A and B are shown apart, each in its own frame.
Chain A
Amino acid sequence: MTVIKSTIALTLLLAMLTIFFAATGRAAGTNTSAASRGDVEVKLGYCLDCHGQSAQGYRGFYPIPRLAGQQPGYLENQLQAFVERRRPNDIMSNVAHVLSPAMISALAAKFRDFNPKPLDGAPKQRVAAGKTIFQDGVPDANVAACAACHGPDATGSGQIPRLAGQLYPYIVGELSNWGKERGQNPAKPDTSAIMSPVAHSLTKPQIEAVAAYLSYLK
């Protein structure tokens, strides 16, 4: 069991490092000076109309994710994924289509400035079970510890997202529909493939538990 666990952890670590260096390399080459500060502030206000005034996320008709403290590398990749239909989402595809590369970089960096407390509302009695899954994985189901890639505090790195404080219904929705919502453009395979087996192997109660744990994490 321990051998399997450490093999999974090692594989994920390698994948994570690859993504991290890829992201760092790209970010260094991006020019952010092209988006004027005023334009960025107005566009940020537009993002916050839906994602919450402190980017804490919002429970609209659809759960609108928290962006506060999110990794710029992840945000940039997702905005590009909406445009390239790797992540089909009509609302966000429209939003992302009009953003210049410079604006995407400038916006992605903005959300590091926000640190609101997480939204309440997830089932508290599932938190302990979720913490175990996050830290130890589910060895019997070949699910690695989430902490291996997302970090012990679930703050993410590079293209790997921060999960701490994310909305409960959003995490549940994403993990439940991973295979239909991420990596949907065969011509452009992306890093979301790493999560596919994990999301697929988790049961509904396990997904809810880990989502509850993460939603309260500061």
Chain B
Amino acid sequence: MTLLFGTSLRGKGRKRGIRIMKSIRSKIAIVAILCSAAPALAGGVETVNFRNCTWCHGTSAQGFATAPRLAGQRTQYIENQLRDFHAHIRDNPFSKQYMWGAAANVGGRTARDLAIYFSTLTPKAANDGDRAVAAVGRTIYQEGIPDSNIVACVACHGPNAEGVGEIPRLAGLESSYLKRRLEQWGEGYSAAIGPPMPHIAGTLSANDIEALASYLSFIK
């Protein structure tokens, strides 16, 4: 597994990942056997068990209940989140309840391999926002509200909310998840993550958050 996901993919692009993923799918059965039998078979290197993630995040990592979609998320972002759960920096209630434990033994190569795996899956849009306020959300996302000192999300998250590097993809995430994250930053959670999001989220009103979360949930 490490050979497939990790070493060969380190720092490489999505296309290559997809190509490798295709070959991986046919080998999942074999891999599962290897994983359960003996990690030492891979020369003592850690193996990646993405199934521990998909129990909650959905079998195709499209999100489930309170667990957000991981499919198509940026590699560096996922890796950073795992690091922040591990270090207890991301400290909102669900993170404490679920992810602190889940990430307790995940780090280094394993975190990287998991991040690469999930980033290569094709995301679907949640489409679960309030359509009536999506247009308002679009305006805030693309233009900000300069009079209220609210910045345009597009500058960092990109024209299609695709994210880049350590900046997350927001397109198609569940509106409930997006809403919760924005609210919790404003409430002081995860402040140790540092600027700019805690400050930016603090400038948003409840209506702004509702509108943004709705808009983003519909982006493919």
Chain A residues within 8 Å of B, Cβ to Cβ: 42-43, 45-46, 48-50, 52-53, 58-62, 64, 90-91, 94-95, 97-98
Contact = CB atoms under 8 A, between A and B. Distances in A.
Contacts of B149: 42-43, 45-46
B202 to A, nearest CB: 10
A61 B167 contact: yes
Contacts, number: 59
B188 interface: no
Top 6 nearest A-B pairs (CB, nearest first) are A60-B156, A61-B158, A46-B149, A98-B146, A49-B196, A49-B151
Interface residues of B, number: 25
A53 B195 CA distance: 7
Nearest to B143: A94
A61 B196 contact: no
Nearest to B151: A49
Contacts of A98: 146-147
Contacts of A53: 195-196
Nearest to A63: B155
Nearest to B160: A61
A123 to B, nearest CB: 15
A50 B165 contact: no
Looking at chain A's contact residues, is the secondary structure mostly helix, strand, loop, or mixed?
A: helix
A94 B156 contact: no
A90 B154 CA distance: 11
B93 to A, nearest CB: 26
Nearest to B165: A59
B144 interface: yes
A152 B49 CA distance: 56
Interface string B162-203: 111101000000000000000000000000000110011001
Interface in B117-157: 142-144, 146-147, 149-152, 154-157
Given A60-B156, A61-B157, A50 B151 contact: yes
